[in-house]
Amino acid sequence: MKNEIERITHLEIQLAHLQRQYDVLNDVVTEQAMLLDRVNKRVAKWEQTVDRLKNASEPTSDPQDEKPPHY
């Protein structure tokens, strides 16, 4: 009987440790997901800015339609 009680107590202790580790890991994963979401939004804004600057600086005509300078 004593052996069974010790075994159950040991299992309960292990379960408590596993639950704590699970909670800690869940917090880390949640924090990382929020950080990744913020980074993705920031990168999307930068891509929009680069596209806008690229479109503003590029000529509107196609260079292949232009005649070479020796004509």
Distances (CA, A) of 68 to 39, 58, 61: 45, 19, 14
Q: Is 68 contained in some domain?
A: no
Residue 60's pLDDT is 66
Q: Tell me the C-alpha distance between 37 and 29, whole Å.
A: 12
Q: Is 40 contained in some domain?
A: yes
Q: Is 21 contained in some domain?
A: yes
Q: Is the pLDDT of residue 61 over 90?
A: no
Q: Is 9 contained in some domain?
A: yes
Q: Write down the pTM of the prediction.
A: 0.60
What is the average pLDDT score of the chain?
A: 90
70: confidence class by pLDDT, cuts 50, 70, 90: confident
Residue 50's pLDDT is 92
Amino acid identity of 26? N
What Rg do the C-alpha atoms of the chain give, in angstroms?
31
Q: Which domain holds residue 32?
A: 1-44
For the chain, the domain total comes to 1
